Structure 1
Amino acid sequence: MAYLDEFLLIALAHFFAVASPGPDFAIVLKQSIQQGRRNALWTSFGVGLAILLHVTYCLLGVAVLLAQSPTIFMALKYLAGAYLAYIGVQALRSAKPATAEQDNLVPSASTESDWVAFRRGFLTNALNPKATLFFMSLFTLVISQSTPLIVQAGYGLYMALATWVWFSFLSLVLSKQSVRGFFQKSGHWFDRGIGVILIALAIRIVV
């Protein structure tokens, strides 16, 4: 109870951060429509687990190093931009579906494995400078230095679980057949639209 006010402040900040549109939302939307519910849920799990990576380096003090080293942070930004641009280009190059298989929303042979889906979600969040800045701010400005590490770790575990639950909820909604059918009527144009969004996010991250 002694840290309730601090926790509520962190929970509120995290809610607005995770609910705001960004690379995580774009990738979960893409996987939900293109690959289906199972794939999107694994992607969401990867996004949630990546939160623990941010929390870990903050607890270890690496966040201070990143804050004091513009070169390292810029390298992270370029790496994140390149990864999102790569996914975006892949989406832009998607071919127009020509079989009835997709009209019935049946998974095709190109369905990604659970590991690929998990890795995609994990890397999207782990390399996101927006997430890095958010957790650096929390652990250096919001969370008191007198707060025990075990309590700080509890904050981090909560944010990881909350992120996972939020994107899993979105996955369940976006992967409904009615929702997928609406987007898949546009076929490859939806893929290309997502590709443009991902490339735009990549440019935004870098500049």
Structure 2
Amino acid sequence: MTLSLLLSFVGLCVLLSLTPGPDTFLVLRYSIADARPGIAAAVGSALGGMVWALVVAAGVAALLEQSATAYRLLKLIGGMYLLYLGIRALIDLRKQRKAGNETASAQGRAAAPASIRSAFTAGVISCLFNPKVGLFYLAVLPQFLSEVTFVNTLALGAIESAIAAIEMVLVAVLASRAVTLLRKPAVRDRLEQASAGILAALGIGTVASAA
């Protein structure tokens, strides 16, 4: 691979990372109360991207391109998972409002997103069940390779995953700091409602397009 091709690929990845997608909104959802779960979700999503890169490098992702059924099934599962995350977030927010006094509610909001493991898992699953990631690697990566090999394909996948991870970590940090500065329960509730609603809408849209 030439240096010019590598720089072109990096530039493309940076531009694409600036376009919000399901993973970005997922990171935002987990970053509202604390940056750490959001960062965990970002790392999980990057790991999912690396798995896709590995799959594409092995040639398995070609099946998705040729099999409409496999593509739709994977897309359907991913959409249902996003819908589940959005609905669960809305239900959790409603339970917190019924928790009683303001102190109990605040404690509930602080504890709910503190599960770094669940945020990491959500990031991995969200990316793994997004077939567009695999098809992106399958269609785009070979254009930047003078020789398509397992190692070269995996290397470009690692670069793309790293750039996406950096962007999503920045989103997590900035989102958590913005909420910390505001420190208004009403604003936090609105942000949680908005992020959960976006996830649910993305899930519905994905399921509808797959069906």
Q: TM-score, normalised by structure 2?
A: 0.83
Write the distance in 2 (CA, Å) between the matches of 1:60 and 1:183.
49
Q: Which amino acid aligns with 1:123?
A: I
- Evaluate the alpha carbon distance shift between residue 11 and residue 183 of structure 1 in structure 2; reply closer, same or farther with a 3 A threshold: farther
> 1:129 touches 1:205 (CA, 8 Å); kept in 2?
no
1:178: Cα distance to partner?
Answer: 4.5
Write the distance in 1 (CA, Å) between the matches of 2:184 and 2:14.
27
Question: Who is 1:62 aligned against?
Answer: 60
1:168-187 paired onto structure 2 within 5 Å: 168-176=169-177, 178=179, 181=182, 184-187=185-188
1:19-98 paired onto structure 2 within 5 Å: 19-34=18-33, 36-93=34-91, 94-95=93-94, 96-97=96-97, 98=101
Report Cα offsets for 1:186-207 as digits up to 9, x if no partner. 3444333222211221133231
Structure 1 stretch 118-127 or stretch 69-78: which is displaced more? 118-127
Question: Who is 2:155 aligned against?
Answer: 154
SS in 2 for 1:175: helix
Question: Who is 2:128 aligned against?
Answer: 126
Write the distance in 2 (CA, Å) between the matches of 1:67 and 1:177.
41
> 1:58 touches 1:136 (CA, 8 Å); kept in 2?
yes
Runs of 4+ in 1 over 6 A off after TM superposition: none
Write the distance in 2 (CA, Å) between the matches of 1:148 and 1:122.
25
Unaligned runs of 5+ in 2: none
Question: Who is 1:10 aligned against?
Answer: 9
> 2:137 touches 2:157 (CA, 8 Å); kept in 1?
no
Higher helix share: 2
Write the distance in 2 (CA, Å) between the matches of 1:26 and 1:84.
10
Report Cα offsets for 1:87-141 as digits up to 9, x if no partner. 11112222254423666x897343442211110111112212332332222235x
Q: Which amino acid aligns with 1:131?
A: V
What is the alpha-carbon root mean square deviation over aligned residues? 2.5
Write the distance in 2 (CA, Å) between the matches of 1:15 and 1:177.
23
Question: Who is 2:137 aligned against?
Answer: 135
Unaligned runs of 5+ in 1: none
Write the distance in 1 (CA, Å) between the matches of 2:9 and 2:206.
24
1:32: Cα distance to partner?
Answer: 0.6
> 1:58 touches 1:139 (CA, 8 Å); kept in 2?
no
- Evaluate the alpha carbon distance shift between residue 173 and residue 151 of structure 1 in structure 2; reply closer, same or farther with a 3 A threshold: same
Question: Who is 1:164 aligned against?
Answer: 165
> 2:38 touches 2:169 (CA, 8 Å); kept in 1?
yes
- Evaluate the alpha carbon distance shift between residue 161 and residue 102 of structure 1 in structure 2; reply closer, same or farther with a 3 A threshold: farther
Answering whether residue 194 of structure 2 is matched by residue 196 of structure 1, we say: no
Q: Which amino acid aligns with 1:108?
A: A
Write the distance in 2 (CA, Å) between the matches of 1:106 and 1:89.
17
Question: Who is 2:103 aligned against?
Answer: 100
